[in-house]
Structure 1
Amino acid sequence: MAPRKQQEIFDATLRLVAEKGYAGLTVEGVAERSGVNKTTIYRWWPSKAALLGAALVEADLLGFTAPDTGSLRGDLVALVEGVVRLLSEPPAADVAVAALGAAVEHPELDARRFFADRFAREREIFERAVRRGELKESVDPMLVVDLLAGAVWIRSVFRGVPLPDGFARDAVAAVLDGVG
């Protein structure tokens, strides 16, 4: 399948789940929006869960490149700012909240693939920091990412609290420097 057509299918999938939730996501609806026959979609993805799982990882809409500012602190601030944008700017915010929220209720979506893919890309930040001598090898990168991304999710999605200017910088400082 042509990459452009695949992106159109993924885009239609993510926008449909954002509008109608997982229950309202259908392969027929995706086919109609993307201009592709549903049998073509089923040839590549055997179910709507498989299609949404692939869209979460492969769609340009949720694309991610690990920042490289030259320092651990700068990279982490840029990473947190990216998570803030992901969860606050439409249409990505609507998609991320709906799709990843659906994964909690529907384990067949296997959202672990989305998070594993993201973390594989984020790991570069920590590997560079270790090479530069900014971070001990014993530091658990996943814990750091979970603390920072979790803070954004809790505040912006679960509490619905607007994030102030400087939130990313302050969150990174709390993790790297401590709060005491």
Structure 2
Amino acid sequence: MTEQRRPGRPRSEAARRAILDAAMRELEEHGYAALTVQGIAARAGVGKQTIYRWWQSKADVVLDALIDMADTHIAVPDRGSLPEDLMAFLKATFDQRGRRPVLIGLMAQALLDPAFARAFRDRFLASRRAAMRKILERAATRGEVAPDIDPETVIDVVYGVLWYRLMLNHAPLDETASSQISDLLLRGITRDR
């Protein structure tokens, strides 16, 4: 199925990239509450009308920037074993590098706006869950995961920790946390448990 072209001029990939990069830099420097379409446009060197032609709101721009960043920086590893795949994936997932304001800003927007919540869930959260599910399915095929394990619960544990720590900021999301969660999961889901 091909995507229908929207009316107006086609997107310039260079302008799109500049807008997404500008949105992430503005967020990292000023936070979600202070983010404006005008600020993104100024930093990207485009007019506000260009942004509004392609996105409905600042949340939609940030969502696309976040999806692009996740697709680029959080690969689904295939190193041949669940321990190695899980550790690599969790390390990349928990490595926030200043993205906390982006994620909590989008979650806050999702709590306030049901339409955006659907887009956030369907376009971003579902893709992150699918990446983790792929790791678990490959491990199950290799016989590494106990047959009574529900992968959706395992995925909830991983992202539950991630979002809880992001929202409350009570403990770090770092390599130590990813290692601890990986070890905990492996003790609970592998055939040898």
Name the counterpart of 2:144.
Answer: 134
Residue 104 of structure 1 aligns with which residue? 111
- What amino acid does structure 1 have at the position aligned with 2:100? A
Distance verdict in 2 for CA 1:94–1:171, change over 3 Å: same
Distance in 1 between the 2:32 and 2:156 partners? Answer: 25
- Give, in angstroms, the shift of residue 32 of structure 1: 0.9
Change (3 A) 1:162 1:64: closer
Residue pairs, 1:3-42, within 5 angstroms: 3-42=13-52
Higher alpha-carbon Rg: 2
Query: 8 Å contact 2:104–2:167 — kept in the other structure?
Result: yes
- Please state how far the C-alpha of 1:2 moved relative to its aligned partner: 3.6
Give the unaligned 5+ runs of structure 1: none
Shift of 1:173: 2.5
1:78 paired to 2:88: yes
Change (3 A) 1:127 1:27: same
Q: Is the Cα contact below 8 Å between 2:87 and 2:182 reproduced in 1?
A: yes
1:167 aligned residue (177, 181, 184): 177
8 A contact 1:13–1:51 mirrored in 2: yes
The gaps in structure 2 that reach 5 residues or longer are 1-10
The letter for the 2-side match of 1:129 is: A
Residues 48-82 of structure 1, C-alpha deviations (whole Å, 9 max, x = no match): 23322322212469742112221112211222212
Give the partner amino acid of 1:43.
R
How many angstroms apart in 2 are the aligned matches of 1:46 and 1:158? 29
Distance in structure 1 (CA, Å) of the matches to 2:147 and 2:166: 31
**Which of 55, 58, 66 is equivalent to 1:48?**
58
1:115 is displaced (CA, Å) by 0.5
Q: Is the 8 A contact 1:26 1:48 kept in 2?
A: yes
> Which residue does the alignment assign to 2:101?
94
Q: Secondary structure at the match of 2:42?
A: helix
Write the deviation string for residues 123-148 of structure 1: whole angstroms up to 9, x where unpaired: 22122112211125663323212212
Following superposition of structure 1 onto structure 2, how do residues 114-129 of structure 1 map, counting pairs within 5 Å? 114-129=124-139
- Distance 1:71-1:60 versus aligned 2 partners, 3 A rule: closer
The answer for the alignment partner of 2:5 in structure 1 is none
Q: Identical aligned pairs, as a percentage? A: 36
In structure 2, C-alpha distance between the alignment counterparts of 1:82 and 1:63, rounded to whole Å = 7
The CA deviation string for residues 13-54 of structure 1, in whole angstroms up to 9 with x for no partner, is 233344444443322221111011222222211332332232
Structure 1 pair 127/167, CA: closer, same or farther in 2 (3 Å)? same
Whichever residue aligns with residue 116 of structure 2, its letter is L
